[in-house]
Amino acid sequence: MLRLDGVSKIYRAGPFGGRELRAVSGVGFEVNAGEVVSLIGESGSGKSTIGRMVLRLASVTEGTITFDGEDVSAIRSPKAYYRQVQGVFQDPFSGFNPIFAADRVFEMIRREYFPRVSRAAWRERVESALAGVRLDPGQVLGRYPHQLSGGQLQRMLIARALLLDIRLLVADEIISMLDASTRVDVLNLLADLRSRGLGVLFVTHDLSLGTYVSDRTVVLRRGRIAEMGPTERVFGDPLHPYTRTLLDSVPRLHVKWAERRDEERAGRTVCPFHDRAPGTPVRGDLAEPEKDHHVACAGPGACPAAEEPEFRQPSAKERV
């Protein structure tokens, strides 16, 4: 359904765009209907930029993003695209215009997409969308954003997307500002949407959240894919040292860091993926040592043959 091929994002910084900054480099993966793909990376990995490019909020510098085979950058009517592809972002409070009632996000959808639907019929639709995200309409309609909790607001934004005929949802760190006791409910909601045939691109820095809902995982490091494949393969048998470092650093309940040291040492030390053996199926720069499990060269330190490409994530000011 959604397909990225060799996608790069280059920001031009400095006076009149003199310097180039690469935020994303040659990224390719797919999101199919009824599938949750998590895009995992630390800050500056380019994960949010990818989400923004899919949503056409940032332009693609190189490569193509296609939705049902159509180039997303070349779409003439973004409105028709947004009918099928929607996004929810990290900070639920920032998603609402603070001077208007929160339910204005629904009204905006009606105004732009369903101007002929009567108010009464629309209210029914809104209420059923709210029921779909387990919100009580009486508690949220007509209230201002600052009167609602982050969890309520985040669910309203998901309900907003559900009012359209969406097929793909880009969920950019939608959990990270929510409290622990409500996080898992929003994750379950994403999983329920998947069972209704929706594709979800779940952008997160949190490995445990990523593994909980996703079918496939893409691990990003410094704008490039380090490893990707079925979630249980990527986290069950990580091939890239970076994936292993991430897995090793993530704090877990029941297991303390100190007790995991031995596991860590058992990992591979040489990089088998720098010089790809002839005949190894390859996608982009990635080797495919087992079916559908792709991995990049481990990079300098772990791989003697590798050179670190120059990389710096642009600051917010440089992204203009």
Partner 1 sequence: MTGVRNALRVALRNGKLVAGLAVVLALLLTALVVPATIAYGPNEYVGPAAAPPSAEYWFGTTTFGQDVFAQFAYGLRATFLVGLLGGGLAAVIGMAVGFTAGYRGGLVDEILNMITNIVLVLPALVVLLIVNAYLGVRDVGVQALFIGLTSWPWAARAIRAQTLSLRSRDFVDLARLSGMRTPGIIVREIAPNMSSYLFMTFILLFGGSILIAASLDFIGLGPSQGVSLGLMLNNAARWSALHLGMWWWFVPPGAGITAVVGSLYVVNVGLDEVFNPKLREM
Partner 2 sequence: MSLTVTDLRVHYRTPRGEVRALDGVTFTVADGEIMGLAGESGSGKSTLGTSLVRLDGRMRHVGGTVELDGVPLPVADSAAMDRFRFRAVSVIPQYSMSALNPTRKIGKMVAELLASRGERPDRAELERRLALVGLPPDVLGRYPIELSGGMKQRVVMVVSTLLNPSLLIADEVTSALDVSSQKAVAGMLLGLRDEGLVTSMIMVTHDISLVYQIADTIAVMYAGRLAEKAPADVIVTAPRHPYTRLLISSLPEVGVRQAERRLDGIPGTPPSLLDPPEGCRFRDRCPLAFDRCAERPPFAEVAPGHSVACWKAV
Number of H helices, E strands in the chain: 11, 13
Q: How far is CA 305 from the centre of its chain?
A: 31
Residue given tokens 């490995």 in the structure block = 207
Strand-strand pairing, 62-67 and 70-71: antiparallel
Instruction: Tell the smallest beta-carbon distance from residue 132 to partner 2 (Å).
Output: 17
Q: Say which DSSP state 273 is in.
A: T
Token pair recorded at residue 240: 């890239």
144 forms part of the interface with partner 1 (CB under 8 A): yes
94 forms part of the interface with partner 1 (CB under 8 A): yes
Let me know: does 1 contact 168? Beta carbons within 8 Å. Answer: yes
Question: Which positions from 30 to 49 touch partner 2 by CB under 8 A, shown as an x/- string?
Answer: ------------xx------
By beta-carbon proximity to partner 2, the closer residue of 5 and 215 is: 215
Among 76, 116, 119, 254, binds partner 2 (CB under 8 A): 254
196 forms part of the interface with partner 2 (CB under 8 A): no
d(CA 204, CA 45): 11
Instruction: Tell the smallest beta-carbon distance from residue 255 to partner 2 (Å).
Output: 9
Listed ranges 53-61, 67-75, 241-249, 279-287: which one lies at the site for partner 2 (CB under 8 A): 241-249
Comparing CA positions, the residue from 60, 75, 71 lying closest to residue 7 is 60
Count of residues making up the chain: 320
Chosen from partner 1, partner 2, none, partner binding at 112 (C-beta under 5 to 8 Å by type): partner 1
Among 29, 67, 96, 202, binds partner 1 (CB under 8 A): 96
Token pair recorded at residue 192: 């329920």
316 forms part of the interface with partner 1 (CB under 8 A): yes
87 forms part of the interface with partner 1 (CB under 8 A): yes
By beta-carbon proximity to partner 1, the closer residue of 59 and 249 is: 59
Among 5, 30, 62, 91, binds partner 1 (CB under 8 A): 91
Among 1, 38, 60, 89, binds partner 1 (CB under 8 A): 89
Instruction: Tell the smallest beta-carbon distance from residue 137 to partner 2 (Å).
Output: 17
Let me know: does 38 contact 246? Beta carbons within 8 Å. Answer: no
Q: What is the DSSP string of 31-69?
A: E-TT-EEEEE--TTSSHHHHHHHHTTSS--SEEEEEETT
82 forms part of the interface with partner 1 (CB under 8 A): yes
Q: Say which DSSP state 312 is in.
A: -
Phi and psi, residue 69, nearest 5°: 80, -5
Residues 44-63 that bind partner 1 (CB under 8 A): 55, 57
179 forms part of the interface with partner 2 (CB under 8 A): yes
Count of residues touching partner 2 (by CB under 8 A): 37
By beta-carbon proximity to partner 1, the closer residue of 118 and 195 is: 118
86 forms part of the interface with partner 1 (CB under 8 A): yes
Whole-Å CA distances, 119 to 39, 114, 129, 131, 166: 39, 10, 15, 18, 22
Among 99, 180, 253, 266, binds partner 1 (CB under 8 A): 99
**DSSP H stretches of helix in the chain:** 47-54, 78-84, 104-113, 119-132, 137-140, 150-162, 180-195, 207-213, 231-236, 241-249, 261-265
Kindly list the residues in this chain that would bind partner 1 in the complex (CB under 8 A).
15-17, 55, 57, 78-79, 82-83, 86-87, 89-91, 94-101, 105, 108-109, 112-113, 144, 146, 157, 160, 316, 320
